[in-house]
């Protein structure tokens, strides 16, 4: 009936992580980027996604643009809602990693406890994908001094925060708990976006996340 599906072996067994790895030439993972507003998270994330696609790899960015107005549109910026925001992002990232994608999250994620919870969910020590998750998790610290972020101030948020118009603004009136031992650190004050992206891709090669089409 259908020429393409004639040679399929029919079985009820679930798709394994190895099946996906072979088809997609990569291992699903999460690159969890944290850093101050204006540190360059989204810029690096988008450039990285673009570079990975050019290399033939499936990648996807989860950030405020596609999460805050969609899945998490019901959440405000209270401390409880911020934690719930990160929890849901981690659960979704765990699903993406299980699906085989190189998943890049770009959220300030200022609290160490929330990032640890994200790691637990994604690596399967937490509740991710119903406890079935066993994704690779890389913590990427986009480490840019507050003064540099504030001088960039692309959305004029720091100016508003200094004027007291935004309460609980990370770095000004709310703490940023810097990652103690990130897998990667990207000091964007002294590193170009291109170098940052090359650094991340090098890490993905070194850790066996990326495999070559020809090898499959």
Q: Catalytic amino acids?
A: 109
Given candidates 78, 81, 113, 131, which one binds a copy of itself under the rule CB under 8 A? Answer: 131
Rounded to whole angstroms, the Cα distance separating 18 from 55 reads 21
Distance in Å, CB of 162 to a copy of itself, minimum: 28
Which of the stretches 111-119, 125-133, 135-143, 175-183 binds a copy of itself when contact is defined by CB under 8 A?
125-133
Distance in Å, CB of 61 to a copy of itself, minimum: 9
**Dihedral over Cα of 67, 69, 72, 78: its sign:** positive
With beta carbons less than 8 A apart as the criterion, state whether 58 and 102 touch: yes
Burial 32-71 (b: 16+ CB within 10 A, else e): bbbbbbbbbbbbbbbbbbebbeeeebbbbbbbeeebeeee
With beta carbons less than 8 A apart as the criterion, state whether 177 and 163 touch: no
* Residue 24 touching a copy of itself (CB under 8 A): yes
Structure-derived torsion over alpha carbons of residues 103, 104, 108, 109, reported in degrees to the nearest 10: 30
Nearer to a copy of itself, 19 or 165 (CB): 19
Ranges within 32-61 binding a copy of itself (CB under 8 A): 43, 46-47, 49-51, 53-58, 60
Which x/- pattern over 67-106 shows residues binding a copy of itself (rule: CB under 8 A)?
Answer: xxxxx-x--------------x--xx-xxx-xxxx-----
Q: Which residues bind a copy of itself (CB under 8 A)?
A: 1-2, 4-5, 8-15, 19-20, 23-24, 43, 46-47, 49-51, 53-58, 60, 62, 65-71, 73, 88, 91-92, 94-96, 98-101, 121, 127-133, 193-194, 197-198, 201-202, 205, 210
């Amino acid at each position: 009936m259908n020429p393409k599906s004639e040679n399929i072996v029919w079985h009820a067994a679930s798709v394994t992580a190895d099946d996906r790895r072979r088809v997609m030439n990569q291992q699903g993972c999460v690159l969890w980027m944290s850093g101050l507003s204006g540190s360059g998270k989204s810029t690096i994330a988008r450039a990285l996604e673009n570079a990975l696609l050019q290399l033939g790899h499936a990648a996807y960015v989860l950030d405020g643009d596609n999460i805050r107005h969609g899945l998490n549109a019901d959440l405000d910026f209270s401390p409880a809602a911020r934690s719930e925001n990160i929890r849901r992002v981690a659960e979704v990232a765990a699903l993406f990693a299980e699906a085989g994608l190189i998943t890049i999250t770009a959220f300030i994620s200022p609290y160490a406890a929330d990032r640890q919870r994200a790691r637990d969910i994604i690596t399967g020590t937490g509740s991710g994908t119903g406890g079935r998750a066993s994704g690779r998790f890389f913590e990427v610290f986009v480490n840019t001094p507050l003064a540099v972020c504030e001088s960039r101030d692309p959305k004029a948020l720091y100016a508003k925060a200094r004027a007291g118009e935004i309460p609980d603004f990370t770095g000004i009136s709310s703490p940023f708990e810097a990652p103690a031992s990130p897998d990667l650190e990207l000091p964007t004050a002294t590193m170009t976006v291109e170098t940052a992206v090359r650094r991340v891709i090098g890490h993905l090669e070194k850790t066996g996340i990326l495999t070559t089409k020809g090898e499959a």
